[in-house]
Amino acid sequence: MSRLTLTTLLLLWTLLLRAVFARECGNETGFIRDITVWSQQDADTKLDGCTSLVCALIIGHNYAGDFVLRGVTNLTKGFSTFTGYSRTTPDEIVEGVPGLTSVTAPDVLEVGSYSLDLEHSTALKSVSFEKLRKAYNLNVELGTVDSSLSFPSLESVVGRLTILGNFSSMNFESLTSVGSTITVRNRRDGADNIYLYMYSVDIRETAALDIEFPSLVNCSTLKFWGNISRVSMPKLETIADFTGDDMFYDYGHDLSVYTQGLPLNLSLPSLWNISDVGLSGTFGSISLPALKHVEKYTIISGLPMDVNLAPLESAATISFYGNVTE
């Protein structure tokens, strides 16, 4: 038997095994019902043999410890931590999973046209989706200092990407495009209002964020707020208005960075397509060497700083506040 024939047979056998053992779950009764898991043992029992879920997967409020999602490659209706009403006190809203410490999904490739929401989990220290390639919305809230995020295969997010918490490491090495807003913040307090947030960040209580998106080329809005030590986005070219679904539209600066802590040296070497820049806080230096045209450029400096706007050629409005000289 030739090597080519043997290789072909092995490939066909692999595909046959996948077809035989592939199993959709969540529609066994003819009605699509969410699957809620309350422990790792409960998850292993309910999801035994499942490769694709046609329903939402929810981590229950009382879950404690690490969660590992084994064997599932497709989450067509999304994945989230519990948000709802308390069973014992119906009038009391219970959000999140306070005992959840980590989420690992080594086999998930797709999340479908629904969100991946891991929020309100105050003990969550690690989130890892090693093979996930595309997400609709991705919202992760880490609960402890020295937390980590790993999405090394993620290439695009259709809607919003939100990261909240005091993480010490992040891996989004393949991410090139986010359709709507990228938000990274230390914490939730005052998160909807930058002016409230500016006065709520206590650098003694928050870790310095090292933000890195090495392959990112475009998004519609960028918001980095908190104690920020470094920002690295060497390939980012475009921060432009979102033209897709109105549900993802965001208001405010196209680029909004508020930092409080040690001086941040901000450099975005490839950024040229943007209409609104808003930078506030403790900057050591600001470098946008590809930016020639902008509608609005605002700097509010908490430290003495010299600003060089070259090669900027045109702007409708330029505003400097604080100890800034040009």
- DSSP characters over 58-110: EE-TT-EEEEE--S--EETT-EEE-EEE-SS-TTSEEES-TEEEEEE-TT--B
Q: pLDDT band for 83, please (50, 70, 90 cuts).
A: low
- pLDDT value for 243: 59
Give the residue carrying structure tokens 């690490």: 66
- pLDDT value for 16: 41
pTM across the whole model: 0.86
Residue 2 has pLDDT above 60, yes or no: no
The answer to the question of residue 276 being in a domain is yes
Total tally of structural domains belonging to the chain: 1
The answer to the question of residue 39 being in a domain is yes
The answer to the question of residue 16 being in a domain is no
The answer to the question of residue 57 being in a domain is yes
- pLDDT value for 87: 46
Residue 33 has pLDDT above 80, yes or no: yes
Other C-beta atoms closer than 10 Å to the C-beta of 178 total 27
**Taking the alpha carbons of 195, 171, 107, 178 in that order, is the dihedral positive or negative?**
positive
The answer to the question of residue 5 being in a domain is no
Q: Tell me: the pLDDT tens digits for 244-277? A: 555 565 655 699 999 988 999 999 999 999 999 9
Please tell me the least confidently modeled range out of 15-24, 125-134, 213-222, 289-298: 15-24
Q: What is the mean pLDDT of residues 2-12?
A: 57
The answer to the question of residue 183 being in a domain is yes
Q: What is the mean pLDDT of residues 26-41?
A: 85
Q: Percent of the chain, pLDDT > 70?
A: 79
Q: Which domain holds residue 125?
A: 24-325
CA distance 69 to 44: 8
- pLDDT value for 75: 94
- pLDDT value for 305: 84
The answer to the question of residue 274 being in a domain is yes
94 vs 128 pLDDT, higher one: 128
The answer to the question of residue 6 being in a domain is no
User: What is the chain's mean pLDDT, rounded?
Assistant: 85
- DSSP characters over 241-276: ---S-GGG---S-SEEEEEEEEEEEEE-TT--EESE
Q: Tell me: the pLDDT tens digits for 289-306? A: 999 999 999 999 988 888
